[in-house]
Amino acid sequence: MKNWQHWFFPHKDTHKKAHLLSWEAILIYVLFFILLQVGFSIVGFAKPGVLGINGNIDQKRLIELTNQERQKAGLPPLVENEALDKAAKLKGENMFAENYWAHFAPSGKSPWDFILGSGYKFTYAGENLAKNFYSSDEVVSAWMASQTHKDNLLNNKYKDIGIAVVEGVLNGQKTTLVVQEFGTTEILASTPAVSIQGKQIAVPTRDLINKPELVAGSEARIAPAKSIIDPFIFTKSLGISLTLFIGALLALDLLVLYRRGVLRISSHHIAHMSILSISAASLFTSSPGAIL
């Protein structure tokens, strides 16, 4: 117990940094967060739905925000289409049923399978995806910050829109998926095409002839109304707390050395402050949301 001060204060004689500021300690902090993520994975596998993001996303608000962005760009508003709403809902449910996060399903289902399966006959269509955002504004802001998604959202070829907000369990965690489908029935091309992540993909003739009959996936696990633990908020709060703790220790280290009259800003101080600054910036700007 005599040396407990060495954990928080620089050594009295050697002026060596506090143990909690050593590179060994920093390695332990990193390993702790890695183990925390592994622990979340185990909990998600053992108790699906206990972990997850509790968002508040509204389908009508998403359409309103989308049309606001189009209005800013001088484009006409999109009209909500019942068939595209159905296609978006079926796509979201299928992602939960097959446990994937992508435009194309592991079983081979494509974005146009859901659009055609809903009865919407298009000549040009597109799809944007989002997951685990806390609000409708965050979703549209993320799409607008991505050039390929922005180009899709502001495409002047589209006349109709369909959006679905679907909740379920994905990879063991409660997840909120947003599926945004665009389309037009006007004759714009000889071969119907779908825009996905900045690429225009021609729909194979066989898919136009043999339109799939799609139903909601019965194997999808329904998420609880609200998850017990938000892993993102939990990890972010711990990260911010640890960053503030290390920052306080570093300030204390400089203060003690200054009072001892041996203060010298070394490369170790600069390295610590650089890591601390980068970590703090990453934590405060991080978000659990993702787009495709």
Average pLDDT of the segment spanning 219-223: 57
Percent of the chain with pLDDT over 70: 85
Q: How confident is the model at residue 251 (pLDDT cuts 50, 70, 90)?
A: confident
Q: Which of 245, 237, 241 is nearest to 272 (CA)?
A: 245
Measured between alpha carbons, how far is 291 from 127 in angstroms, rounded to an integer?
Answer: 11
How many other CB atoms are found less than 10 A from the CB of residue 33? Answer: 13
Please check the confidence at residue 257 and state whether its pLDDT lies above 90: no
Measured between alpha carbons, how far is 56 from 154 in angstroms, rounded to an integer?
Answer: 24
What letter represents residue 73's amino acid? A
Please check the confidence at residue 93 and state whether its pLDDT lies above 80: yes
Fold of 59-184: Pathogenesis-related Protein p14a (3.40.33)
Average pLDDT of the segment spanning 32-60: 86
- The number of helices, as runs of H, and strands, as runs of E, in the chain is 10, 7
Please check the confidence at residue 219 and state whether its pLDDT lies above 70: no
pLDDT, one tens digit per residue, over 258-274 is 787 776 666 666 666 77
81 compared with 246, residue with greater pLDDT: 81
Q: 29-43, 127-141, 212-226: lowest mean pLDDT where?
A: 212-226
Model pLDDT, residue 58: 95
106 and 27 Cβ atoms separated by less than 8 Å: no
Contacts 24+ apart (CB under 8 A), 267-272: 268/17, 272/21, 272/246
Please check the confidence at residue 1 and state whether its pLDDT lies above 60: no
Please check the confidence at residue 130 and state whether its pLDDT lies above 80: yes
The DSSP symbol for 203 reads P
Average pLDDT of the segment spanning 20-41: 85
The DSSP symbol for 220 reads P
How high does pLDDT run on average in the chain?
Answer: 85
pLDDT, one tens digit per residue, over 271-281 is 667 766 776 67
30 and 36 Cβ atoms separated by less than 8 Å: no
The strand pair at 124-131 and 193-196 is best described as parallel
173 and 231 Cβ atoms separated by less than 8 Å: yes
Q: How confident is the model at residue 218 (pLDDT cuts 50, 70, 90)?
A: very low
Model pLDDT, residue 142: 95
Model pLDDT, residue 70: 97
Q: 39-53, 147-161, 200-214: lowest mean pLDDT where?
A: 200-214
For the purposes of burial, counting CB atoms within 10 Å of the CB of 99, is it exposed (0-12), middle (13-18) or buried (19 or more)?
middle
Average pLDDT of the segment spanning 154-183: 94
Average pLDDT of the segment spanning 218-226: 60
53 compared with 145, residue with greater pLDDT: 145
Helical segments of the chain, H only: 5-8, 23-46, 59-72, 82-97, 111-117, 136-145, 147-153, 205-209, 231-260, 267-285
For the chain, residues classed under CATH 3.40.33.10 are: 59-184
In Å, what is the CA distance from 273 to each residue of 47, 202, 212? 39, 52, 58
How many other CB atoms are found less than 10 A from the CB of residue 166? Answer: 23
Q: How confident is the model at residue 243 (pLDDT cuts 50, 70, 90)?
A: confident
